[in-house]
Structure 1
Amino acid sequence: MELFDATKDWAEVFKPLIKKYKNKKHPLDYQNLYQLLVMVVLSAQDSDANINKVAPPLFEVFPNLKSLSESTIEDLIPYITKVRNFNTKASWLIEIAQTLKTDKNIPTTMEELVALKGIGRKSANVIMREAEVPAEGIVCDLHVIRVAPRIGIVKESKDGNKVEKELMKALPKEIWGDIGMAISFLGRETCRPTYPKCPDCPVQNDCQYLLKTI
């Protein structure tokens, strides 16, 4: 069933969704930019809930980039063994720490962030959104990849970068920083993979999935 609708004014459609989630903090329970950077790297192919459990003892031992940069992969691994692909992520984090050296050097631009090991566009967009800097893209996590095509704004694809590119074409830049996480929160809370809570959805009147099923 083809749901894609390029004729809608999607920026207008998403106004109530953005209003609902505009200032909502990311589900990763971080306290500063350093913690966010580390947790974003660890969360790849893992759950935010799991990373939130792992993080507190990790940050007790490694409270900043300086402490991490002076450590080794072997020092770090015991604190992240419950994280998926922990060996690879440990090497990424040590390399990032040794590259940046101190927290003040953590970048907040797309070009600088994606140059770091383990940071792709999705992670960079999350960091930039939480740092409240001008958006250069749209957060496109697994929830957005699933929900955006269901709503009808983009065609279905498993490629997050492709979905992000199509969203960027369909939406004005001034809402890029808000819309990705807004759709993500919608997917987490309301637009579930099965039995979506359509009556609770802020965009139910324009959702192509709902319109095709009623």
Structure 2
Amino acid sequence: MRFPLISLKGVKITTIKKVKLKKIADILNGVPDVRQPGKANTTGEITYNFIQPNHLGIFNDIQCISEIKRHTSVDDSYFVRKNDILLKRLNPDIATLIIEDMSNTVFSSNLFVIRVLKDYYPAYIACLLENQGMTWINSNIVGSVAAIKSISAKALAALDIPSVDYDKQKAIGQMWLLYKKRKKLLENMIEEDQRLMAAVINSITASAEEEK
């Protein structure tokens, strides 16, 4: 049986343009060591809210925040802002998008902040980093034999990002955020079902022991 030949003459084949992450976002290291120069403070210690890698949840959430005290003030660029993307420097596995303003909050040197420039939707970049970029990142990771793996800002900056229309970026980014919410709801439902089953079994077991 012969299949008809399909001519591609006149068919427009579009290729998705790619752009390096460094071209569309600022990539920032965390709060520098206290010995590095900063704005002098004459009133004593300054307390900041502080985000560390173990504070990041898997549902695009921040589970808790600690505090850090410094004798020099932190530059404005180190304050976490809405739409910042947090990525672990060691063993990166998730991307966390800041969806609400956070006052007086800085981030650890074991985190990168990816601050997306205009024309790119932050949730879209976070989605790509978590779902596609992690494979690329892990292939460019330092110390792959060791238990602890580390990604550099240079390797992160070289990541290729598909440059699609802003409306498509927004649709994909919002889909990723909804996926995170649904995943969290499903896990909560499973935990509640497990508690319910445990309560029922305990009740039956207790009743059976009373009848002995």
Task: Tell me the TM-score normalized by structure 2.
Answer: 0.25
* More helix as a share of residues: 1
* More strand as a share of residues: 2
Task: Tell me the TM-score normalized by structure 1.
Answer: 0.25
Larger Rg: 2
